[in-house]
């Protein structure tokens, strides 16, 4: 397989729920290998639905979706998925290492203890998200940001080609978000990344392209992402605040001051 082949490609995809409400209309895009793309758009605009279509959890009403040249359901093993953080039971009794090992599960059945090789891979995945030494900690004892990192490690452990993340920084404070984006840049060296995000300001500094979803899809090269473009996506009632943070050796310089 050539590395230039599209990791994800949508052509003329439409999706509606059983009650007939159209969620996505005429979606066309493709994602090249090594891409770091961000999905933005209003709540209910279809961002999570689009991820689920790529994962093969939902089927399009019409149009075709290819993941690494095949139907999504045949490529699940090559996709690492980080679901929305908010739906987790914070009290679930499980160790961090065991959460990551859940990423080793696959279609073919196996039982008994995890192999040495699987445990080694899980440790490496934890190291990749900065959680080395926390393997035996309880998942419920960790901070929101650490739990989020563990869930990313769970997606990495199966060595996917594509990493899908649904609002991975929603539980992280502003300071932590900066660290997360640095981590994503590192992960982007190895994985193609598509993530759903709300904080467009932070995103545009690092992301290579932004996919704006609001029933239909528009692709903006990051440089073109102006207030006007955002307004057309989020609707008229949006206030755009510019975040042009630039950090130098002299400290924090804000272009507005």
88 binds other proteins (CB under 8 A): yes
Q: What is the pattern of x (binds other proteins, CB under 8 A) and - over residues 159-198? A: ----------------------------------------
Please tell me whether residue 147 binds other proteins under the rule CB under 8 A: no
State in angstroms the smallest separation of the CB of 237 from other proteins: 30
Give how many residues touch other proteins by CB under 8 A.
33
For position 119 contacting other proteins by CB under 8 A, the verdict is: no
Instruction: Give the x/- contact pattern for other proteins in 63-82, rule: CB under 8 A.
Output: -------------xx-x-x-
The answer to whether 54 touches 79, Cβ cutoff 8 Å, is yes
Does the footprint of other proteins cover residue 91 (CB under 8 A)? yes
CA 84 – CA 251 distance, rounded (Å) = 34
Chain centroid, CA 7 distance in Å = 14
Find the binding residues for other proteins in span 216-255 (CB under 8 A).
none
Query: Is 83 a residue that touches other proteins (CB under 8 A)?
Result: yes
**How far apart are CB 93 and other proteins at their closest, in Å?**
5
- CA 29 to chain centroid, in Å, comes to 17
> What one-character-per-residue DSSP string does 173-232 give?
-HHHHHHHHHHHHHHHTTSEEEEE-S-HHHHHTT-SEEEEEESEEEEEEGGG--HHHHHH
| Residue 142 Cβ vs other proteins, minimum distance, rounded to whole Å | 11
Q: Given candidates 8, 13, 38, 55, which one binds other proteins under the rule CB under 8 A?
A: 55
24-53: which residues touch other proteins (CB under 8 A)? none
Q: How far apart are CA 131 and CA 27, in angstroms?
A: 38
Answer for the pair 99, 151: CB distance below 8 angstroms, yes or no.
yes
Distances (CA, A) of 168 to 61, 98, 179, 245, 252: 28, 20, 12, 21, 26
- Least gap, CB of 42 to other proteins (angstroms): 22
Using CB under 8 A as the binding rule, whether residue 133 contacts other proteins is answered as no
User: What's the min distance (Å) between Cβ of 53 and other proteins?
Assistant: 12
Distances (CA, A) of 136 to 27, 59, 96, 100, 133: 44, 38, 6, 11, 8
Is there binding between residue 103 and other proteins (CB under 8 A)? yes
Instruction: Give the nearer residue to other proteins in terms of CB position, either 81 or 234.
Output: 81
Which residues have a Cβ under 8 Å from the Cβ of 26 and sit 6 or more positions away? 12, 13, 14, 63, 216
Contact positions vs other proteins (CB under 8 A):
55-57, 76-77, 79, 81, 83, 88-89, 91-95, 98-99, 101-103, 105-107, 109-111, 114, 138-141, 154, 158
């Amino acid at each position: 397989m050539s590395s230039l082949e599209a990791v994800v490609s949508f052509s003329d995809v439409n999706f509606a729920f059983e009650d007939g409400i159209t969620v996505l209309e005429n979606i066309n895009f493709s994602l090249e290998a090594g891409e770091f793309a961000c999905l933005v758009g209003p709540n209910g605009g279809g961002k999570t639905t689009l991820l689920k279509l790529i994962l093969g959890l939902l089927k399009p009403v019409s149009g075709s979706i290819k993941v690494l040249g095949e139907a999504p359901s045949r490529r699940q093993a090559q996709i690492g998925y980080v679901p929305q953080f908010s739906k987790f039971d914070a009290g679930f009794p499980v160790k961090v290492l065991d959460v990551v090992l859940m990423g080793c599960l696959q279609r073919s059945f196996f039982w008994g203890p995890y192999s040495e090789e699987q445990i080694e891979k899980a440790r490496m995945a934890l190291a990749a998200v900065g959680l080395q030494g926390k393997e035996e900690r309880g998942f419920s004892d960790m901070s929101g940001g650490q739990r989020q990192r563990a869930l990313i490690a769970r997606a990495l452990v199966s060595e996917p080609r594509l990493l899908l993340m649904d609002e991975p920084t929603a539980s992280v404070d502003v300071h932590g978000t900066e660290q997360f984006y640095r981590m994503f840049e590192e992960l982007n060296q190895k994985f193609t990344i598509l993530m759903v995000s709300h904080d467009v300001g932070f995103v545009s500094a690092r992301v290579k392209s932004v996919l704006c979803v609001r029933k239909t899809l528009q692709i903006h090269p990051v440089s073109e992402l102006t207030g006007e473009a955002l307004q057309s996506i989020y609707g008229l009632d949006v206030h755009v605040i510019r975040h042009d943070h630039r950090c130098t050796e002299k400290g924090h310089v804000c272009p507005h001051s």
